[in-house]
Amino acid sequence: MTQSPISARAPRLRGARALFTGRAGGVSAAPFDSLNLARHVGDDPEAVEANRALLAREIGLPLVFVEQVHSADVLVLRSGGARGEESSIATADALVTDRTDIALAIMVADCVPVLLSDPVAGVIGAAHAGRRGLLGGVLEATAAAMAALGADPARTEAAIGPAVCGRCYEVPEAMQEEAVAALPAARSTTRSGTPALDLPAGAAAALVRAGLAPERIDAGAPCTLEDERWFSYRRSARTGRFVGAIRRAGT
């Protein structure tokens, strides 16, 4: 099967269809060219809605987005939940569901997008793990919310999407020390030897801390700052957002 131009990376997660969109394949004009999926960045609203429609058509289900605020809050959409609850935009940085009629979407442009699936329980999740959310426990909270729906962290699979890498995410030394005190795996240095944080490595460590097996974590995604196939806020502050999206498979 030929990969869709809007699916820049499609990790294999059992029990789910997962994808990370890239910049290509949409209708937005520069500097949001072309598949910007965020409403809050100054893009033409009609272009954003057209791009979201393209993504919904690609994944085959209506998409649920949240208003992301760098928190550890998780929106749980249960089978048999309140009618229409998915249509109200909630403030959260992760989503979890066992439903078969919706797909989950999380937006990023350097932060870490994480998609999760327990193929036995039929529970999926999507999380936005920026520095604050990652240190605040958003990935552990996502795994716990999935477990409350019947998932087992030991058999849950995860894909860590494109994000700024540890060689590119330079931070002040005090910020680095504060972060690695909570998450030692995030310590890194830039190519010039200055303090940095490796958020993808920190995300992988947080997932293991939440009970996932290391061999069930796909962490081989590119760096958003180095690879122009993805939006990067560090490359250009006026830019779009790409999405990690997931739905249950076979539904």
Tokens of 56: 């919904």
Give the torsion through C-alpha atoms of 85, 20, 109, 69, to 10 deg.
20
Q: Which domains, from first to last, does the chain contain?
A: 7-248 (3.60.140.10)
Q: Does residue 2 carry a pLDDT above 50? A: no
The C-alpha atoms of residue 181 and residue 183 are separated, in whole angstroms, by: 6
Count the Cβ atoms, other than its own, within 10 Å of residue 61: 18
Give the Å distances, CA to CA, from 83 to 77, 78, 87, 180: 10, 10, 9, 42
| Residue 1: per-residue pLDDT | 35
| Residue 87: per-residue pLDDT | 66
- One DSSP character per residue, 117-180 reads EETTTTEEEEEEE-HHHHHHTHHHHHHHHHHHTT--GGG-EEEE--B--TTT-B--HHHHHHHH
What does the pLDDT look like over 126-168, one tens digit per residue? 999 999 999 999 999 999 999 999 999 999 999 999 999 999 9
Q: What is the pTM of this model?
A: 0.96
CA angle, residues 198, 168, 203, in degrees to nearest 5: 20
| Residue 6: per-residue pLDDT | 78
Give the torsion through C-alpha atoms of 145, 147, 150, 153, to 10 deg.
140
What does the pLDDT look like over 56-103, one tens digit per residue? 999 999 999 999 999 999 999 999 776 666 666 799 999 999 999 999
What does the pLDDT look like over 68-80, one tens digit per residue? 999 999 999 999 7
The C-alpha atoms of residue 73 and residue 50 are separated, in whole angstroms, by: 28
